[in-house]
Amino acid sequence: MTMKYIFVGNPTSGGGQVISGNNLPLSKGVAIACVGDKAICPKHNTVSKIITGDPNHKIMGKPVARINDLLSCGCKLLPQSSSTIEDDIENYGIKFRLINEISENPLSNQYYKLEICGGNAFEGLTDEYGNTCLLESGKEVKHIILTTYDLSKPMESWD
């Protein structure tokens, strides 16, 4: 089934565009917009919030914005040629964003290991936004182990 969702850069009926989104699920490198994300509205001379979305498709608890969903100023979200993604209910995917607890900045180039309980393990470095690789599965995964390593210090001996 094809679903039409809104991404950063999509136009609005007020002549503006969406300016914020969630970087975790990207489509061609563009963040997807959710309820609470913002759009510039020249018609009403304001920055508006997205107030409606798909109640059945949420990212981090927020409904994903769709074509014709509403902004707080009353304008609608409009389609763009890159706003169509395939929604394949047979596939599941997740990635994690690592954030420094003190500075709240993304941990880029952080070594990590993702393990699916009873399955495969994936290792790598986080990207510039602190994201791990996208872990995709043909079925829903209930437990994932994420391990990070502090490579700035020498490892303890194995003795």
Q: In this structure, what token pair is assigned to residue 149? A: 């390593």
| Token couple for 45 | 């001379």
> Mean per-residue pLDDT for 94-115?
83
Please report the pLDDT score of residue 87 as a whole number: 47
Q: What is the CATH number of domain 2-86?
A: 2.60.200.60
pTM of the model: 0.52
Residues with Cβ within 8 Å of 109's Cβ and at least 6 positions away in sequence, in order, are 125, 126
b/e sequence 76-103, b meaning 16+ C-beta within 10 Å: ebbebeebebeeeeeeeeebbbbeeeee
* 69: pLDDT strictly greater than 90: yes
Question: What is the spatial distance between Cα 130 and Cα 45, in angstroms, rounded to a whole number?
Answer: 34
Nearest to residue 72, comparing CAs of 26, 30, 16, 8? 16
* Residues in contact with 93: Cβ distance below 8 Å, sequence separation at least 6, in sequence order: 25, 134, 135, 136, 137
Q: What is the pLDDT of residues 72-103, one digit of tens each?
A: 999 999 997 544 444 444 455 677 888 888 88
Note the pLDDT of residue 59: 84
Give the distance from CA 128 to its chain's centroid.
14
- Region 111-117: mean pLDDT is 81
